[in-house]
């Protein structure tokens, strides 16, 4: 694998995380309730943490054992809505976040099989696993919210 390719992939992943930061910042501006704004601020900070994780991969590299197995509740896969059409309710914010993470997971998963280079494929599988963790986080929040009868 070329070091330049590795760096370009990390730059791409960081730009996707920066888009997520901007996404949550824009939702904060649209929100009318302080509790929702606080949650969105926490999510913004979580995405900034992901940028740091990717920067650490730049320094330490990536190994197969770095890839965690992440359970999938499949909640977002069963939701057939266009998240951009949803209002700013708590439930819909979770749906929007789940769908965003699902799309990132699918992108990185598809990229992991398109590159013949083993190290690049491993890098994409690692990025996909990280996105799966993010998706699981939102699916758990959604599941908890539904179970409380909301």
Helix (H), strand (E) at residue 143: helix 118-147
- Average of per-residue pLDDT across 34-45: 89
Contact 50, 134 (CB under 8 A): yes
pLDDT digits (tens, 9 = 90+) for 9-23: 999 999 999 999 998
pLDDT digits (tens, 9 = 90+) for 75-117: 999 998 887 787 878 888 899 889 999 999 999 999 999 988 8
**Alpha-carbon distance values, 12 to 7, 125, 144 (Å):** 9, 15, 33
Answer whether 0.75 is exceeded by the pTM.
Answer: yes
Domains in the chain (CATH in brackets) are 3-147 (1.20.1260.10)
Per-residue pLDDT band for 1 (boundaries 50, 70, 90) equals: low
Q: Which two tokens stand for residue 106?
A: 């699918």
- Average of per-residue pLDDT across 31-55: 90
Distance from C-alpha of 76 to C-alpha of 74, rounded to nearest angstrom? 6
Contact 102, 142 (CB under 8 A): no
């Amino acid at each position: 694998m070329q070091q330049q390719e590795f760096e370009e992939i990390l730059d791409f992943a960081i730009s996707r995380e920066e888009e997520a930061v901007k996404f949550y910042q824009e939702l904060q501006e649209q929100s009318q309730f302080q509790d929702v704004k606080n949650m969105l601020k926490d999510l913004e900070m979580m995405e900034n943490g992901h940028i740091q994780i990717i920067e650490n991969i730049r320094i330490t590299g990536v190994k197969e054992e770095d890839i965690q197995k992440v359970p999938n509740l499949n909640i977002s896969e069963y939701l057939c809505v266009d998240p951009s059409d949803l209002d700013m309710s708590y439930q819909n914010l979770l749906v929007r976040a789940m769908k965003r993470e699902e799309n990132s997971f699918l992108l990185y998963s598809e990229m992991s099989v398109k590159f013949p280079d083993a190290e690049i494929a491993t890098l994409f599988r690692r990025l996909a696993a990280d996105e799966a963790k993010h998706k699981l986080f939102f699916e758990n929040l959604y599941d908890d919210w539904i179970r409380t009868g909301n």
